Amino acid sequence: MNKIAISIGDLNGIGIEIALRSHEEITAFCEPIYCIDETLLLEASKLLNIPIPNNMQLAHIGDTFEIMPNQVTSKSGGYSFRSFKKAYDLVSSGGADAICTLPIHKEAWSLAGINYKGHTDALRDFTGEEAIMVLGCEELYVALFSEHIALKDVPSMVTKQNLVEFFTLYYEKMKNEVIGVLGLNPHAGDNGVIGDEEKIIREAIDSINKQLGKEVFIGPLVPDTAFTKNSLRQCNRIIAMYHDQGLAPLKALYFDESINISLSRKIVRTSVDHGTAMDIAYKNANPNRKSYINAIKAAVNALNG
């Protein structure tokens, strides 16, 4: 079975409970390796009153701290980053085949002095190559042309070269037959009445389709109608120009089952598509585990073609 390195996420949140409750289920189709020290696993197990499975394989980080349920702290942030780096190192050295990440807290990373805004940012630095953030489920996947940046900075990123490079990597990894590209502006610019970026997007679409020798990418699509039921029947693989343009409708439709995928040429990384849920952490709320299970399955499927 494929070995999946599990980055444990922020231990003050719900990630460790999800991991403990899901262990038996995921071992049916993969060999998980949890990037966590035994001391912290024991502490979390006692706080949750959930026993540790006998066959839980650990990859030690080498440090510890006091778990503080529901709190955003620099120590939990720093540990979650080191857990992710350990998972990456395992895959890089051949000790695991792919990474699945449990939720981090971006403020905790910042408090710990970590300059990355998330896993995909860090992965780009680790691998020295581009990575694309894709979120969703079989019913709808959304790729983000820009991610965790201020909205005012997005238009300057919309260049033909940037778009064609993005489209090329996306198609190489996803191989979808029809891929919709959203316009940046309301009404997809209304032919230049609201904005000019759509002209650049259209040029990039024409260029990539010419390279592929077929009409794969379509658009620019009008953003406020692309997610209607009728539109999604025609095209349910979407590239959004900025974060909330794509993720607001996705999470309204498929929040509980969506996953997060980093498309990279060097490594397979999947993740849950939800946060640390500090408000219910360590309260035995039995959080929804569907996103985590789907993320593990997606990693295994990616490894096996």
Of 256, 277, 296, at which residue does a domain stop? 256
**For residue 305, pLDDT beyond 80:** no
**For residue 91, pLDDT beyond 80:** yes
Same domain, 209 and 296: no
Same domain, 45 and 110: yes
Predicted pLDDT at 160: 97
The string of pLDDT tens digits covering residues 98-150 is: 999 999 999 999 999 999 989 988 999 999 998 899 999 999 999 999 998 99
Same domain, 108 and 205: no
Same domain, 268 and 251: no
Same domain, 95 and 236: no
Predicted pLDDT at 7: 98
**Which CATH number does the domain housing residue 20 bear?**
3.40.718.10
Q: Which of 20-24, 51-55, 155-159, 301-305 has the lowest mean pLDDT?
A: 301-305
Of 240, 256, 272, at which residue does a domain stop? 256
Same domain, 127 and 145: no
Contact assessment for residue 100 and residue 4, using Cβ atoms and an 8 Å cutoff: yes
Give percent of the chain above pLDDT 90: 87
State how far the Cα of 211 lies from the Cα of 19, in Å rounded to an integer.
Answer: 43
Same domain, 36 and 96: yes
**For residue 193, pLDDT beyond 80:** no
Same domain, 144 and 248: yes
The total domain count for the chain is 2
The string of pLDDT tens digits covering residues 226-236 is: 999 999 999 99
Residue ranges making up the domain that contains 139: 134-256
Same domain, 63 and 98: yes
State how far the Cα of 299 lies from the Cα of 271, in Å rounded to an integer.
Answer: 9
Predicted pLDDT at 109: 97
Same domain, 90 and 151: no
Tell me, rounded to whole angstroms, the distance of Cα 204 from its chain centroid: 25
Predicted pLDDT at 192: 81
Give percent of the chain above pLDDT 70: 100
The string of pLDDT tens digits covering residues 25-60 is: 999 999 999 999 999 999 999 999 999 998 999 999
State how far the Cα of 201 lies from the Cα of 182, in Å rounded to an integer.
Answer: 9
Give the mean pLDDT of 150-159: 96
Among residues 204, 202, 207, the alpha carbon closest in space to that of 192 is found at 202
Of 256, 278, 296, at which residue does a domain stop? 256
Same domain, 100 and 140: no
Same domain, 103 and 5: yes
